[in-house]
Chains A and B, each alone.
Chain A
Amino acid sequence: MKWLLLLGMIVATVFSYQVAPAKDFPQPELARIIFFHLPCAYATAGFSIFAAIASWRYLAKRDWIWEFRAHAATEMALTLGCATMITGILFSKVQWGSWWHWDARQTSFLIVLLLLGAYFAIRMAFEEEVSRARVSAAYSSLTLLPILFLIFVFPKLPQVAKNSLHPQGVVAKGRFSPDYWSVILTVFVLVLITAIWLYKMHVRTSVLTQSLRDQDGNLEDSGRSTTARRVDQSVSVHE
């Protein structure tokens, strides 16, 4: 699986240099970073929204699997968000002349990253598992509205959009050539598959860690019931 993904990414990267550069940018040749910037941004939005929904499900059902899913999805959202931010900053320097412009999209995306980062600050502040899960889930579900607003509403407000350096409505109006789009879509699919693969691995690890902890707890309980003598048991874990 991982070799296929690596091969796919290499092929997409090579192919990205074959298509004709987009014309609307000051440095069209160097605008190719969009092939990675745009898919990462879309995937960040998707994982952030999924994390908030999974947190909501955890609060409603109190099923640990939703807490693991929310945690893993937020981690993927933050990772992809950082990739978006780094590629965006590079693009900004090359095309617009400086690293940071306080552009509406740049700023709103930075706030999204702060929201995602605060989730991990909350998790680190609680040592007890149930409190940590509950509070971080409540926070994550609370972030859904600000994230939707910051990604889909704020940058499109007329008074904000008119001052933005980001090209408006490129996706909706189909300003890229079909070749350009095919590379963006290919990279998007590859980024998404890689992210989902990592996400699933994280969830599986969390489930295994939890079952190990449960078994430890059972061992401790059985040890308590036989206080007269110490009992050592070997544990085998099957995936």
Chain B
Amino acid sequence: MSSNWGNEIRAVIRKELCTEMRNKSATFTAVMLSVTTVFTLAFAFYGRQLTGDGAAGMLWAALLFAGVGTLTRAFIAEEEQGTGDLLRMWARPHAVYWGKAIFAFGQMALTGFLVAALFLLLTGVGVATPLMLFVSLLGGAAALSGTVTLVSAMIARGSNRGTLAGVVALPLLLPLIALGVTAGRSAFEGLATSSGWAGTAGVWLYTLLVFATAPYQFAAIWREP
């Protein structure tokens, strides 16, 4: 067993990376889901002029579905493959959570920026304040990965996990989407920059609160009674 937090977290991330490199299933699924979502949204708006409001809403909806669709597999896969118990013996709950969440953040950041780039390319929407969009998307990716990692651990042993993931994760993430859309709207239109930055700060505050509380909730459900 590793001797300190840092080693345990690094080992969990390395384990996730090795598992992912072995079959690349999660990354491939995330990329495919993102491309399909963005393509569908762009197709739905073909020939129409998108406003900053609509573009921000669509971009964050695409991110939300890509995140919830892929990240909820994190702990479900452990339970299905029977490796959950090994992980319980091998690392402390907080280390497992942080390791999984950091890996999910990397995956989500990659997916998020791919979604955003594709979205801008296919819809032709201009970005007036790119820095605001970048900072809010980065915060959104962090909050999404922290929340969905916890939700994945919650539902891993339940029935109807596929449907349950959406039912549980979406309402929890809707406040984040509201803040993200405020920031995105301002970033696309270049108007009301103060409220846009306030929305961006809100996204990061949400991220901070998720990471301040989620490890404790994870520890409460991860260990066997």
Q: Do A and B come from one complex?
A: yes
A residues engaging B (CB < 8 A)? 59, 111, 114-115, 117-118, 121-122, 125-127, 130-131, 134-135, 137-139, 141-143, 145-146, 149-150, 154, 157-159
- Distance in Å from the Cβ of A104 to the closest Cβ of chain B? 9
CB <8 Å contact, A125 and B221: no
- Distance in Å from the Cβ of B76 to the closest Cβ of chain A? 12
CB <8 Å contact, B158 and A126: yes
CB <8 Å contact, A130 and B220: no
CB <8 Å contact, B164 and A125: yes
Q: Is B157 an interface residue (CB 8 A)?
A: yes
A121 and B195 contact, Cβ closer than 8 Å, known pairs A142-B214, A142-B217, A149-B175: no
Specify which of A117, A118, A137, A149 is in contact with B220 (CB 8 Å cutoff): A137
- Distance in Å from the Cβ of B192 to the closest Cβ of chain A? 7
A122 and B175 contact, Cβ closer than 8 Å, known pairs A59-B220, A138-B220, A141-B217: no
A142 and B225 contact, Cβ closer than 8 Å, known pairs A122-B154, A126-B157: no
By a CB distance below 8 angstroms, the chain A residues around B164 are 121-122, 125
By a CB distance below 8 angstroms, the chain B residues around A143 are 172
Closest to B155 in A: A125
By a CB distance below 8 angstroms, the chain A residues around B160 are 125
With A and B bound together, what is the CA distance between A127 and B171 in angstroms? Answer: 23
Q: Is B167 an interface residue (CB 8 A)?
A: yes
CB <8 Å contact, B220 and A134: yes
By a CB distance below 8 angstroms, the chain A residues around B217 are 59, 138, 141-142
Q: Is B213 an interface residue (CB 8 A)?
A: yes
With A and B bound together, what is the CA distance between A24 and B8 in angstroms? Answer: 62
CB <8 Å contact, B167 and A118: yes
CB <8 Å contact, A114 and B171: yes
Within 8 A of A (CB), among B42-83: none
By a CB distance below 8 angstroms, the chain A residues around B101 are none
Q: Is B178 an interface residue (CB 8 A)?
A: yes
With A and B bound together, what is the CA distance between A114 and B174 in angstroms? Answer: 10
Closest to A58 in B: B220
- Distance in Å from the Cβ of B181 to the closest Cβ of chain A? 11
A-B contact pairs, 30 of them (CB 8 A): A59-B217, A114-B170, A117-B167, A117-B171, A121-B168, A122-B154, A125-B155, A125-B159, A125-B161, A126-B158, A126-B159, A127-B159, A134-B220, A135-B158, A135-B221, A137-B220, A138-B218, A138-B220, A139-B154, A142-B213, A142-B214, A142-B217, A145-B209, A145-B213, A146-B171, A149-B175, A150-B175, A154-B178, A157-B195, A158-B195
- Distance in Å from the Cβ of B186 to the closest Cβ of chain A? 9
CB <8 Å contact, A130 and B172: no
Specify which of B168, B170, B209, B218 is in contact with A122 (CB 8 Å cutoff): B168
Q: Give B133-164 as 1s and 0s: 1 = Cβ < 8 Å from A's Cβ atoms.
A: 00000000000000000100011011111001
With A and B bound together, what is the CA distance between A220 and B206 in angstroms? Answer: 49
Q: Is B200 an interface residue (CB 8 A)?
A: no
CB <8 Å contact, A115 and B221: no
By a CB distance below 8 angstroms, the chain A residues around B220 are 59, 134, 137-138
By a CB distance below 8 angstroms, the chain A residues around B174 are 111, 114, 146
CB <8 Å contact, A118 and B171: yes
Within 8 A of A (CB), among B172-225: 172, 174-175, 178, 182, 192, 195, 206, 209, 213-214, 216-218, 220-221, 225
With A and B bound together, what is the CA distance between A94 and B175 in angstroms? Answer: 29
- Distance in Å from the Cβ of B57 to the closest Cβ of chain A? 12
